[in-house]
Every structure is written in structure tokens, then in C-alpha cells.
């Protein structure tokens, strides 16, 4: 139990943790309610369930902003000689309290209303591919985001305030530096691939049909290979793959089965396994405390991308598991390791971000970042966005969406008011390579580790460097402690150029 954790010795911090327990329990319950909604909830339960979500979320906020909680956190800030865990608890709660208390209740209420309505309208707009339907809502959402930047405040750039909400301490400047380094080299890499005689727009394995039960068994085999702890987790089906760390001892991932293109289900499972392993390997002594969760979206994504890109899309991984793949996907008897490896890493300019490959993925994010920043700065207008989107797609990805459903309307994020969220995906992709390089320095090459099935060693390393800390450190501090350096796109770019040079004979 949290209040007995040996990691927390300071009396004030113990009081804070105890005072926070109800908030933590409400978060735990909401996570289960959310997981259930996507997996087993009967469909007509949705309205009643929505009332529950609303109440629990308001209750959580009320407890967080209670006089007692705020006073305790203020007291905690004045404490001397806190250990890292204790300091992390104060930092985490102070941050959460500030995010809420700086927003006036009328603003929060309006935001919630606009978000609720926007999601409904966005669905209809995307279905009809009619941007004009969604436009007034998107305008409103960007206006509200601008207002939020004023309430929250910022030092350099208003967009910083939005970034920080999703990734503590992330600055517009950081994202610009990152993209300025990767944009030209990835665009160049993509152009070379498109010009290569090896380029293929489609791969026959994309159309190969599988039995869903066999796909499920293969995914389970992979989870067992990675030693996923089923005594502390579950693996279910949902419309969109996701992972929920309900608690440290209850982490659930899901996948979906499209019936063909087996890499989608397999790599999504490996991706979610990365998220799940992070949530599961948080130090148990932090259970039920405010730091018992992943530190940020970007660092979380680095863990899923590490497993998906650095292991799942690795040639050795394909090689040593080829027989396993063939057992469950019998059509693979007609394909070689090289075929499957190339299929796993097929590069082509797709319209849809969630279907993108390693080479194009960050360009998709770049477009969203440039648009969000442009609108927040007042340099772009909402009604120009479909055109701007299409121009940027052509510029970075050499393809133009035939309609807005496949363009500016494709993502749910904006309709939920999540502006400033997208860059965390790129951060994760870049950090994943840095973690891989550092891990290889400590444990030897990933190829050798994969050959020897040393997944436990890989997980232990990630636990030690990243997972066990929960949100004790800020994302930037955690990265520096783990890697000895801050986020840096160079290893990612080198990895990409080397890998795809070989794959496409560039």
C-alpha cells in the first residue's frame, strides 16, 4: 500500500499521498470503465456510462483542487531534503493543480461542451468529407486553445503552453529544431525510395487473408515470447488497438483483426506491448501514489515504438520467427525472410497517418505541427486548412488527398480539443532509436539479443532506465538520466538512412 511505501519517508509527503488516494482510486476506476467501454460494454449502455465518466472526472478535479490538497502540496514545496520520489510527487501534483486552477470554471465548462459536440460533428463531417460542417467547431476549438495558452501562460511562444500540457517542459523551439533536422533528410530519403527500381506501391502480402483465430494465436505467441505477464495483464479485442494501465498490477492491451495484411495486427500488438510493459514495470512501491504512471505521452510512445520499430520491424526478428509466422500464416510458405522483412518495412506515401511507415510517419506529424503552430500564431486561418493540408502533403509526401476525409479531416485529435498532442508521436519515434542505441552499448546488439531471445534482459534494462521511475522525474530529466543526453534526432536519421539504403539498394 502506498502509505506504507518505503520510498516515501517524509511526513508531509506521506500525508499528500494519503490525501491523494481517493483521486488515484477514481482514476483507476475511470480507466477500467474506459477499457470496458471499448471491449465488453453492451452497446446501449453508452448514455448511462457517459454520465458516470462526467461525474467521476468532476469529482476527481474537485478533490484535486480541494483546500486540503492544495495546502498540503504547498507545504510539500517548502520541505527540505526530499528524495527524488518525494520531490516527483510534489512536482506532479503541483503541475496538475496548476493546469486546472488556472482555467476559469466557465472556460472549462464551455470547452467540455464544445468538445462533446465537436466529436459528433467531426464524425459526420469526415463521413461526408465535408470540411464546412466541421469548420465552425474547429474554429471554436482553436479559439479556446488560444485562450488556454493565455490562462496557462508561456515564456517564449503561446504554443509552448499547449505542448507542455501533453509533454511536460516541451517547447515549440524543441519541436522546430527536431523537425528542421529530420524534414530535409526524410524528404530526401523518401524521394530516393520513390525513384528506386525496388520501389513497390503495393505488396502482395497486404492482400493475403488470414484466419482471425490464427492471427490471435500468433499474437499470443509473440506476447509469450516477450514474457508478457498474463497474471498482471490481459489481451483483448477492440475497434482500435490501445493499452490501459488500470494499475501497476492490471495492464490491458487490445488489438483488432482486419482479416488481411497480417503485419497490421502483429505490429500493433508489439506496439501496444511496449506501452503495456512500461505501465507494468513501474516500481511496485509507487503503487497508488501520484507518480505511479508513465511520465509523458512522448516517453510512452518511445517505449511502444522501440518494440514496434526496433524489434518488430527488425530483420533478425523476422528471420528467427519466420517458422512461427509460417505456422499461423500458412500463405507465408511462398515467401522468403526478405519478402516479409520488406513487407514489414514497405515505404510508400500514404494519405492516412495511422497507416504510415517509418519513413513517412514523421512527415505526417510535421504537417499537423506546422498547421497547429500557424493557427495559434494567427498566420493561418481555419478556412484555409484543407488547402494548406493538401499543399503540405504534396510537398513532404509527394501525394495529394483526393478529398478532405482522407486529408484534413482524418484525425480525431482536434475534435477532442487535443491541440499540441501530435508532436509527442515524433518524439517517441526519435527517442526509441536513442534508447535502442544506448541499450546496445550496455547489452550488445539488438540482433544478438533477439537471436538469443533475451527479451527479459531488454525489459529489465528498460525497467531500470525508464519504467520503474513512473513520473518521478520530468520527461527531459528522465531522458537525460537514461541516455546521458537529451533527445537528438541524429541516431534516428542514421538508423533510417542505413536501414532503407540497404532495403531499397539506394
- Residue 67 lies near a copy of itself (rule: CB under 8 A): no
Task: Indicate the DSSP class of residue 333.
Answer: G
* DSSP class per residue in 77-138: HH-SS--HHHHHHHHHHHHHHHHHHTS-HHHHHHHHHHHHHHHHHHHHHHHHT-HHHHHHHH
- Residue 220 lies near a copy of itself (rule: CB under 8 A): no
**Could you tell me which stretch among 35-43, 71-79, 355-363, 490-498 binds a copy of itself (CB under 8 A)?**
35-43
For a copy of itself, the binding residues in 83-122 under the rule CB under 8 A are: none
User: Which residues, 6+ apart, have CB-to-CB distance to 108 below 8 Å?
Assistant: 100
Nearest of 89, 88, 34 to residue 57 by alpha carbon = 34
Catalytic residue ranges: 272
Q: What is the x/- site pattern for a copy of itself, positions 3-32, by CB under 8 A?
A: ------------------xx-xxx-xxx-x
**Distance between CA atoms of residues 381 and 401, nearest Å:** 20
Q: How many CB atoms lie within 10 A of CB 172?
A: 23
Sole binder of a copy of itself in the list 88, 158, 247, 417 (CB under 8 A): 247
Task: Decide: 166 and 422 in contact? Cβ < 8 Å.
Answer: no
Note the Cα 266 to chain centre separation in Å: 17
Sole binder of a copy of itself in the list 88, 233, 349, 407 (CB under 8 A): 233
For a copy of itself, the binding residues in 264-303 under the rule CB under 8 A are: 287-288
- Residue 246 lies near a copy of itself (rule: CB under 8 A): yes
**Could you tell me which stretch among 46-54, 141-149, 180-188, 417-425 binds a copy of itself (CB under 8 A)?**
46-54
**The C-alpha cell that represents 239 in the structure block:** 475497434
Strand, helix or coil at 156? coil
**Distance between CA atoms of residues 122 and 130, nearest Å:** 9
- When the beta carbons of 100 and 154 are compared against a copy of itself, the nearer one is 100
Sole binder of a copy of itself in the list 7, 12, 38, 49 (CB under 8 A): 49
Strand, helix or coil at 254? strand
Nearest of 77, 7, 76, 17 to residue 469 by alpha carbon = 7
CB of 418 to a copy of itself, least distance (A): 25
**Could you tell me which stretch among 42-50, 158-166, 396-404, 478-486 binds a copy of itself (CB under 8 A)?**
42-50
- Residue 249 lies near a copy of itself (rule: CB under 8 A): yes
CB of 238 to a copy of itself, least distance (A): 13
CB of 100 to a copy of itself, least distance (A): 17
**Could you tell me which stretch among 36-44, 84-92, 414-422, 451-459 binds a copy of itself (CB under 8 A)?**
36-44
Please say whether the dihedral angle defined by the alpha carbons of residues 204, 210, 215 and 216, taken in this order, is positive or negative. Answer: positive
**Distance between CA atoms of residues 35 and 49, nearest Å:** 12
**Could you tell me which stretch among 44-52, 129-137, 265-273, 358-366 binds a copy of itself (CB under 8 A)?**
44-52
Sole binder of a copy of itself in the list 4, 6, 48, 81 (CB under 8 A): 48
Interacting residue ranges for a copy of itself, rule: CB under 8 A: 1-2, 21-22, 24-26, 28-30, 32-33, 36, 40-45, 47-49, 51-52, 55-56, 58-59, 229-234, 246-250, 287-288
Amino acid at each position: 500500500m502506498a502509505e506504507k511505501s518505503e520510498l516515501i519517508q517524509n511526513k508531509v509527503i506521506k500525508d499528500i499521498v494519503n490525501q491523494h488516494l481517493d483521486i488515484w482510486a477514481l482514476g483507476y476506476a475511470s480507466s477500467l470503465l474506459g477499457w470496458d467501454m471499448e471491449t465488453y460494454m453492451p452497446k446501449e449502455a453508452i448514455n448511462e456510462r457517459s454520465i458516470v465518466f462526467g461525474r467521476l472526472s468532476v469529482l476527481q478535479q474537485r478533490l484535486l483542487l480541494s483546500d486540503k490538497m492544495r495546502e498540503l502540496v504547498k507545504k510539500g514545496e517548502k520541505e527540505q531534503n526530499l528524495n527524488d520520489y518525494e520531490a516527483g510527487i510534489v512536482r506532479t501534483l503541483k503541475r496538475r493543480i496548476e493546469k486546472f486552477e488556472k482555467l476559469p470554471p466557465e472556460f472549462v465548462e464551455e470547452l467540455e461542451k464544445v468538445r462533446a459536440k465537436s466529436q459528433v460533428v467531426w464524425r459526420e463531417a469526415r463521413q461526408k468529407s465535408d470540411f464546412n460542417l466541421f469548420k465552425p467547431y474547429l474554429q471554436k476549438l482553436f479559439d479556446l486553445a488560444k485562450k488556454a495558452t493565455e490562462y496557462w501562460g508561456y515564456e517564449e511562444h503561446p504554443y509552448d503552453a499547449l505542448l507542455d500540457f501533453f509533454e511536460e517542459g516541451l517547447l515549440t523551439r524543441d519541436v522546430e529544431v527536431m523537425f528542421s533536422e529530420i524534414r530535409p533528410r526524410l524528404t530526401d530519403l523518401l524521394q530516393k525510395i520513390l525513384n528506386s527500381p525496388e520501389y513497390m506501391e503495393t505488396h502482395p502480402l497486404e492482400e493475403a487473408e488470414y484466419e482471425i483465430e490464427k492471427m490471435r494465436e500468433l499474437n499470443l505467441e509473440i506476447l509469450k515470447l516477450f514474457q508478457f505477464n498474463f497474471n498482471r495483464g490481459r489481451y483483448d479485442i477492440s475497434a482500435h488497438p490501445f493499452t490501459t494501465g488500470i494499475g501497476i498490477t492490471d495492464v490491458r492491451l487490445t488489438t483488432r483483426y482486419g482479416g488481411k495484411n497480417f503485419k497490421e495486427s502483429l505490429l500493433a500488438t508489439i506496439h501496444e506491448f511496449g506501452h503495456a510493459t512500461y505501465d507494468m514495470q513501474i516500481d511496485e512501491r509507487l503503487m497508488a501514489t501520484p507518480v505511479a504512471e508513465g511520465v509523458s505521452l512522448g516517453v510512452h510512445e518511445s517505449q511502444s515504438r522501440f518494440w514496434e520499430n526496433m524489434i518488430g520491424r527488425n530483420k533478425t526478428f523476422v528471420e528467427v520467427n519466420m517458422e512461427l509466422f509460417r505456422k499461423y500464416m500458412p500463405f507465408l510458405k511462398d515467401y522468403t525472410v526478405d519478402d516479409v522483412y520488406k513487407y514489414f518495412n514497405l515505404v510508400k506515401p500514404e494519405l492516412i497517418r495511422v497507416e504510415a511507415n517509418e519513413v513517412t510517419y514523421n512527415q505526417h506529424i510535421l504537417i499537423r505541427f506546422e498547421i497547429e503552430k500557424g493557427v495559434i500564431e494567427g498566420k493561418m486561418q481555419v478556412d484555409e486548412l484543407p488547402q494548406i493540408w493538401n499543399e503540405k502533403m504534396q510537398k513532404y509526401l509527394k501525394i495529394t488527398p483526393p478529398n478532405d476525409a482522407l486529408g484534413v479531416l482524418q484525425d480525431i485529435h482536434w475534435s477532442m480539443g487535443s491541440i499540441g498532442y501530435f508532436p509527442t508521436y515524433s518524439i517517441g519515434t526519435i527517442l526509441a532509436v536513442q534508447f535502442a542505441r544506448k541499450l546496445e552499448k550496455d547489452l550488445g546488439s539488438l540482433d544478438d539479443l533477439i537471436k538469443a531471445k533475451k527479451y527479459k534482459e531488454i525489459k529489465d534494462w528498460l525497467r531500470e532506465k525508464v519504467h520503474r521511475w513512473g513520473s518521478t522525474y520530468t520527461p527531459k530529466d528522465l531522458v537525460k538520466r537514461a541516455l546521458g543526453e537529451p533527445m537528438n534526432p541524429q541516431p534516428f536519421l542514421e538508423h533510417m538512412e542505413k536501414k532503407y539504403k540497404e532495403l531499397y539498394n539506394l
